Amino acid sequence: MSIGLGIKACLEGYKVFFTTVPLFITQLKELRSTKSLRGYQNKLAKYDLVILDEFGYISCDKEGAELLFTNLSIRTGRKSTIITTNLSFDRWGEIFIDPVMTAAMTDRLTHKSFVINMNGNSYRLKETKDWLKTLSNN
């Protein structure tokens, strides 16, 4: 769904940035170590929509959590951000470790936002089953 929204935004003329959370955190760490983080933050601020996919699939260390928190906080109330995750909010503490940061992040991200809970079956699982069925029919 996030990809579809991103494509629609692009077609409407909005500037969209898409990445996974693990890759985003890695980039932020590398940029911090080369002292280029501020320039990247300025570039990121120019995007109308940032889509961060796969939040929570891989836990992050304290530095990664702080960088993610800081960079999402910068966007809060200014530009749109979509985050996809398979974790409910009550499990975000497993990722951020720090309960205060977890509460602050949840608060910022849910303020004036739309939360869409998708509890249906996985489309990937359905596609795989259909694919396996076609293989067995051949």
Burial class (CB in 10 A: 0-12, 13-18, 19+), 55: buried
117 or 5, greater pLDDT? 5
Topology (CATH level 3) of domain 2-137: Rossmann fold (3.40.50)
pTM for the complete prediction?
A: 0.82
**Token output for 19:** 């990445």
pLDDT of 120 above 80: no
Residues 79-92 as b/e (b if ≥16 CB within 10 A, e otherwise) read bebbbbbeeeeeeb
Query: What's the mean pLDDT in 21-42?
Result: 96
